[in-house]
Amino acid sequence: MPERTGLMERIQKEMTGGEREGRKPRIKDLPPSERPYELLEEKGAQTLTDAQLLAVLLQSGTVGETSVEMALRLLSQCSGEGSDPLVRLCSLRLEELRAFKGMGRVKAIKVKAAFELAVRLSNRQVSSHIRLNTPEDLADRYMEQMRYLKEERTRVVYLNAKMELAGDVELGTGTLTQSLVDTRQIFLNGFSRGAFAFVLLHNHPSGDPAPSEEDAVLTRHLKKMGKIMGLPLVDHIVIGDKCYYSFAQGESRILQEDSGEGEDE
């Protein structure tokens, strides 16, 4: 009889809307004032917190937590001293996202796709008022995008005659070498944007921006090709963790050398 009693209690609990063992908490179980979908509809997306916006993307939580609670946990796990958890989450690779508890294939893909759209939108909102006169200007603009990356990525920033942003392009992923960089594409992209000059940026996942010999060889090569093509390389910036190295200002004299000196060293 105790077994039958226990079974009836479970059935009654199901029929009365009680929680099943292991059931995912639902957003609809939250008070209306805490539901991100309703908040977005009524007050606008700009009023939602980072966690609430992330919860909309996740759509559902996992066992024992709502999507909002899961979003808060993800942001908490991406936080660290001096780092923005949302920026750090955005920089994770797909396989790193899937390593989080409750983050399956579909959730990870949706989050990664949303972050990529945000990055592309940011890159396309090019304003003629964005002046990049100094290495510090450039490092400030790209530091948060590149400092958390787990692998080397290379970006070319194009400037107009007033040293204003004319556009940028990500070249690829992998250790930076002359053979990896498509020199022809760098100049084609620049000419199509009417660029006056360009800057090369790449990150060091170690966090140490000290340039390697490969970095120096590539800088010399692009400086030489820039002179030939009429689209000069004005700097090569290596992004570290909250720090950077500028070939235009650093101890290396590659970009300060006279045109005919040092390029074949």
Which residues are within 8 A (CB) of 106 and not within 5 positions of it... i.e. 6 or more apart?
none
Do residues 142 and 237 both lie within one domain? yes
Q: How far apart, in whole angstroms, are the C-alpha atoms of residue 61 and residue 95?
A: 19
Do residues 110 and 139 both lie within one domain? no
Amino acid 119 reads: V
Let me know: does 103 contact 55? Beta carbons within 8 Å: no
DSSP 212-228: PHHHHHHHHHHHHHHHH
Tens of pLDDT, residue by residue, the chain (265 residues): 444 445 445 434 443 444 444 556 666 677 777 788 898 998 899 999 999 999 999 998 888 889 999 999 999 999 876 678 988 898 888 999 999 999 999 999 999 999 988 877 776 655 556 778 899 999 998 998 888 888 898 999 999 999 888 888 888 776 665 546 788 899 999 999 999 999 999 999 999 999 999 999 999 999 999 999 999 999 999 999 989 999 999 887 888 766 444 444 4
**Predicted TM-score of the model (pTM):** 0.60
Start-end of H helices in the chain: 2-15, 36-43, 50-58, 67-77, 85-91, 94-97, 105-124, 135-146, 183-192, 213-229
For residue 187, being part of any structural domain is answered with yes
CA dihedral 115, 121, 126, 132 (to 10 degrees): 0
Domain final position from 94, 122, 150:
122
Start-end of H helices in 59-146: 67-77, 85-91, 94-97, 105-124, 135-146
Amino acid 24 reads: K
Count of Cβ atoms closer than 10 Å to residue 243 Cβ: 15
Do residues 118 and 131 both lie within one domain? no
Do residues 94 and 141 both lie within one domain? no
- Start-to-end Cα distance in the chain: 91
Which pLDDT value is given to residue 26? 65
How many domains does the structure of the chain reveal? 2
